[in-house]
Amino acid sequence: MKVALISYGFVEYCIQQANGLAREWDVLLMLPRAEAAEHVPTIDSAVRYVPFNKPRFRQPLRHLRTAATILREVRRFQPDVVHFQQGHMWFNLALPLLRSYPLVVTIHDPRYHVGDRNSQRTPQRLMDFGFHRADRVIVHGEALRRQVVELLKMAADKVHVVPHVAIGCAEPPATVSDEEHTILFFGRIWDYKGLKYLIEAEPLITRAVPNAKIIIAGEGDNFAPYQRLMAHPERFEVHNKFIGTALRDELFHRASVVVLPYIEATQSGVIPLAYSFAKPVVATRVGALADAVEDGVTGRLVPARDTAALADAVVEMLTNPATRREMGLAGRRKLDAEWSPQAVGQRSIEVYRRAIRDRQPTPQGVAASERVALKAK
């Protein structure tokens, strides 16, 4: 089977997915050149990697040239199936030109998140157009599957749950250590991430664990309102910027627990990152987060917007080092068993095969076409 993987983002995710597929299949991987640059050394030598230039959002002519480049490479490769991640405003318009190939689309977010202004630059109708071009759809949790079926009016048997592929620390850490009593919030800072609730929980946390520290790492919203919420600024370490791989890995190694206080969510790549470093997760019961975090096994789940419950779960982790380390190791075991590139690749292949079968004529259709051919003679 020949698979063409195309994405305008989700770089590390796509590389690991391609690596998992390339053990058995012929894979073309197309990613934006600049965003993928630091990750290129991790691409398996069996993957046929072709980078493309990703113009600024408001450069339509350049986007059309980029789309033409991608289409040319796909046609040259002649895949059995094309797999596209989420969608992109300009490339979605080109999807009809790929109609001769079965198309699988992974939907990470069927609707915009609160405060995610970058995504809102693309009209929802245009995103939906791309989603509905797909022969089959992949999502990363049962909750997200239900959401896609309901919001997009898709047939339930067309939407498949495949776990988020493992990213981060490729090999299990030889030893699991942390910087004692360190809490990590990692990722883009938008309203829906619920960072304010973690900041408001700090006095409750440090009352029980006086030397606790909260690390905030990521860019997004204007950070000044979050700073004003901090009752004790000295309890926080803030990296309000784009986080490269080296700093990211350092922060996850330091963390005692990784916290996702989201008020809404579909899924999150932060959870497999935490598991890759064998770190437990405290997350809210929103979207597919509850599918990824096993309460009491790989971490704790709490209600969204419940500052007291969030603080209690974090304190439980910080004050029970043996428990949190066992939960972190359980997360790593879950990652290796269910979310490894090889495991995700095998489940993706099943979706690809279904997409290919969708394009094949039914026995009745074959018989009808043969009758038409005989009449024509």
Percent of the chain residues past pLDDT 90, beyond the cut: 80
What does the alpha-carbon distance between residue 351 and residue 137 come to, in Å, rounded to a whole number?
8
pLDDT tens digits along 242-259: 999 999 999 999 999 999
- Residue written as token pair 């597929």: 21
Please give the share of the chain, as a percent, with pLDDT higher than 70. Answer: 92
- Nearest to 186, CA basis, from 313, 281, 293: 281
- For the chain, what are the domain ranges? 2-165+340-366, 182-338
Q: Which pLDDT value is given to residue 300?
A: 98
Q: How far apart are CA 277 and CA 146, in angstroms?
A: 30
Digit-coded pLDDT (tens) for 251-307:
999 999 999 999 988 778 899 999 999 999 999 999 889 989 999 999 999 999 999
Contact, 278 vs 170, CB < 8 A? no
Question: Quick check: do 2-165+340-366 and 182-338 share a fold?
Answer: yes
Contact partners, residue 251, CB within 8 Å, separation at least 6: 184, 186, 215, 217, 239, 243
Please determine, for residue 87, whether its predicted confidence score (pLDDT) is greater than 70.
Answer: yes
224 burial class (0-12, 13-18, 19+ CB within 10 angstroms)? exposed
The pLDDT of residue 369 is 40
| Confidence at residue 60, expressed as pLDDT on a 0 to 100 scale | 86
Transcribe 279-338 into DSSP letters.
Answer: --EEEES-TTHHHHS-BTTTEEEE-TT-HHHHHHHHHHHHH-HHHHHHHHHHHHHHHHHH
pLDDT greater than 50 at residue 210: yes
| Polymer length in residues for the chain | 377
**Tens-place pLDDT, residues 226-238:** 999 999 999 999 9
CA dihedral 151, 153, 158, 163 (to 10 degrees): 0
Q: Give the type of residue at 357.
A: R
- Sheet with 159-161, edge to edge strand ranges: 48-52, 26-32, 2-6, 81-85, 103-106, 136-139, 159-161
177 half-sphere exposure, CB direction, 13 A CA radius: 4
Q: 2-165+340-366: what CATH class?
A: alpha beta
- pLDDT above 60 (res 365): no
pLDDT for position 265: 80
Compute the average pLDDT of residues 15-19: 96
Q: Beta 103-106 vs 236-239: how paired, if at all?
A: unpaired
pLDDT the model gives residue 377:
37
- Confidence category of residue 362, pLDDT binned at 50, 70, 90: low
pLDDT class of 360 with cuts at 50, 70, 90: confident
CA distance readout (Å), 233 to 136, 199, 200, 227, 353: 48, 10, 12, 7, 53
- The confidence band for 370, taking pLDDT boundaries of 50, 70 and 90, is very low
- Which of these ranges, 36-40, 119-123, 333-337, 347-351, has the smallest mean pLDDT? 119-123
Under a CB-based contact definition with an 8 Å cutoff, are residues 272 and 17 in contact?
Answer: no
Cα separation of 188 and 10, whole Å? 13
pLDDT one-digit tens code per residue, 92-147 = 999 999 999 999 999 998 887 655 666 667 788 999 999 999 999 999 988 899 99
- The pLDDT, as a whole number, for residue 118 is 64
CA distance 205 to 219: 24
Q: What is the largest CA-CA distance in the chain?
A: 88
pLDDT, the chain, mean: 91
Parallel, antiparallel, or unpaired for β 159-161 and 182-186?
unpaired
Q: Spelled out in words, what is the top-level CATH class assigned to the domain 182-338? A: alpha beta
Residue 16: its pLDDT value, please?
95
Question: What's the pLDDT score for residue 107?
Answer: 96
Q: Mean pLDDT across the stretch 300-328? A: 97
Give pLDDT, residue 19: 96
Q: What is the pLDDT of residue 376?
A: 36
Please state the rounded mean pLDDT for residues 189-215.
96
